[in-house]
Amino acid sequence: MSPRIWRSEGERAAVWPGRSWPLGATWSEESTNFAVHAPRASAAWLCLLDDEGGETRHRLTEQTLGIWHGAIPGVVPGTRYGYRIEGPWDPGAGLRFNPNKLLLDPFARAVSGSLTVDPAIFGYAFGDPTEMSQSDSAAYVPTGVVVHDEFDWGGDQPMRRRWRDTVIYELHVKGMTALHDRVPEHLRGTYAGLATPAVVDYLKDLGVTAVELLPVHQFVPEPSLAERGLTNYWGYNTLNYFAPHNAYAASGDRGQQVTEFKAMVKAFHEAGLEVILDVVYNHTAEAGALGPTLSFRGFDDSIYYRVAGSDVPGEPAPDTYWDVTGCGNTVDAAQPFALRMILDSLRYWVTEMHVDGFRFDLMSALTRVDRRVDMGSHLLTAIGQDPVLRHVKLIAEPWDASMDGYRVGEFPPPWVEWNDQYRDEIRDFWRNHSPGIRQVATRLAGSSDLYADDGRSPYNSINFITAHDGFTLRDLVTYEHKHNEANGEQNRDGTDNNRSWNHGVEGETDDPALIAVRRRQAANMMATLCLSNGVPMITAGDERGRTQRGNNNAYCQDNETSWIDWRPDDAWLDVYEVTKMALRLRREHPALRQRHWFEGRPTILGGPKDLAWLHPSGREMEPDDWHDPDLRTIGMFVSGAPLRSPGPRGEQQVDKSFMLWFNATWVPQPIELPENDWVHEGVVVLSTDAKLPVGTEVKAGDRLDLGRRTVVVFRQS
């Protein structure tokens, strides 16, 4: 049914001039101000929507510097609204104005409703992309919401935990609690569900310090997924950069989601947990030139998206986008207004929503200047100079979907980076595909080859074994091949470079011996991750053996495939205990989370080296050892007497010393604990070797047998 339309707005409500800032809808007791950027439009209508399907259009007559604006009295918080924009229709020139499409305000603070895939959501007529569609989209698209929120933060302040003290837990808002039996049923899968003691206490007890939420900016599924009866579960298909995703709110979508999100952040902060958002500024849900017209495209295509351009001088640009995201479009952060939108969004989430940082998806796409990756780009420079943003946690995924976008180790301060080289080389080590021990040692010590040459620190490396995309940890030791048939793409999607090992049997098994090996391998990798220099990131559920049954690209699986199974009967609790113990050691001992690079020499005259690498024979590693392709066992001595980093008042810090042994061989490995002048006795404080359990006491000079594929950590007595 078509919405009712009243065009005589002058008889119903006066439109005051209002002001051109702030962008979006700003409520006051006197009126609500609306401001939207559409510099090449010839006319703009604000559309207020009622609950019976009625639409009242108010023409905005004021335009200031490309911003259409007006104030309307009597508009209450919770009111739904959208825009209709008139202007030239010339897709070949990047002009796609179509007043038949109800557009979502790019600066809306909340979004109501969901997207229904219908031909009406596309700006062009099906069958002829050059012809403007005459179908009205209002019945099929989500709308903005006027928000007024007086949330009581109760003195909540930024935590600003140091990077070297940070442990990240990457989780999905819905997947974390959708099956959680100790979260009230009506709160499962929501922001409020995350704020319950069942979740908060679990995270604190595990030992993480920050949650990294998969995308919570308002997103919609791709039409192609809807056609297959699937949806976008992960959320990497953003429609609005200011509004918390409404489907994750238990309390409603008329602004209640804003309050509920804030309450979640406050609860995490009260528990000492920071909140980091995974943000997707590199592309939008409008996809390529034949995608839907939902928001940005309808206001002015050219100010948001990079166009392909023409390779022939003097010829017009083709009607295509330049895409280095693999999603149909690339947001042009070099355009002044697109840059402003990104910066305004980031500041909003920090100042109004109190988040502590951001992980930028496909960050290389946003650093492009004239299509080249540029570490002096507009966005990086602006964030580095911003007095709010430069002090929050900033994580780059340092690549995009192009060949030249891979930039691991190149992002400038204050950025830290996802380190996929750590992921790959640690996986290869534990599956016996590493070409020796040299690169593994570099990763354990903080990846100095990537971050030391430009003055950065070990914590610039975000270390991870798994992430949301790819195998879970359990699947990494259970499958050698992806099993993505449920995604509806004939198993063509997802990477084939899994660096996994099924230990001889593809998939789950009832063989107790094989299960034990897999669980020990998972525990080995978690211990390695938590005790490496750098910042560890754990994927939610890995610590308890979550499986996706071999699906390594579960982006469209909003079901038990992706949700965490909290039942204890199939949980890998031994892996959980190793993870918890490793994080406890890291938290309690600054020797295991150092700020400065190891130098391989004493920190004080006559003292031990701050770091020494040991051969299984008990001697220090020699040059030839580093090139031995058959060496799969190494000892890592970390001195705590004293540390290279001073304490908060400049005092010398002293900690226990540690000896960490990593044995990736298929057979038990004899090792000798070296005689030395500094550490004479120790005790096992973490072990995946049943024959060397926690509490085992050792002395310098002891000869021991490390079990096959094990990690054992000794602490100085």
CA distances 643 to 589, 638, 656, Å, are 11, 9, 10
Choice among 300, 323, 332, 397 that is catalytic: 397
Residue 223 token pair: 């039409």
Please, are residues 96 and 123 in contact by the beta-carbon 8 Å criterion? yes
* DSSP string across 627-678: G-TT--EEEEEE--SS-SSB-TTSPBP----EEEEEE-SSS-EEEEPPP-SS
* Cα pseudo-dihedral 340, 343, 346, 351, rounded to 10: -90
* Displacement of CA 212 from its chain's centroid (Å): 6
Q: In the sheet where 67-72 sits, what is the strand order?
A: 24-27, 32-37, 67-72, 62-64
For the beta carbon of residue 32, count every other beta carbon within 10 angstroms: 24
Closest among 471, 480, 495, 487 to 545, alpha carbons compared? 471
Q: Is the link from the previous residue into 22 a cis peptide, with omega within 30 of 0?
A: yes
**Buried b or exposed e, range 231-258, using 16+ CB within 10 angstroms:** bbbbbbbbbbbbbbbbbbbbbebbbbbb
Please, are residues 458 and 586 in contact by the beta-carbon 8 Å criterion? no
Q: How far apart are CA 591 and CA 366, in angstroms?
A: 37
Q: Is the link from the previous residue into 318 a cis peptide, with omega within 30 of 0?
A: no
For the beta carbon of residue 504, count every other beta carbon within 10 angstroms: 10
Please state at what angle helix 573-588 crosses helix 512-531, rounded to 10 degrees.
20
What SS3 state is found at 79? coil
Residues facing 630 on adjacent strands: none
* Displacement of CA 626 from its chain's centroid (Å): 35
Straight-line distance from the first to the last Cα atom of the chain, in angstroms, rounded to the nearest whole number: 77
**DSSP state at residue 321:** B
- Report H helices in 352-447: 378-385, 420-430, 438-444
Choice among 105, 274, 361, 689 that is catalytic: 361
Q: How far apart are CA 283 and CA 553, in angstroms?
A: 19
Q: Is 361 annotated as catalytic? A: yes
Beta strands in 186-316 (DSSP E): 210-213, 274-279
CA distances 538 to 206, 421, 529, Å, are 11, 16, 8
Residues facing 244 on adjacent strands: 217
Closest among 460, 458, 499, 469 to 481, alpha carbons compared? 499
Please, are residues 430 and 502 in contact by the beta-carbon 8 Å criterion? no
- Which residues are marked as active site? 361, 397
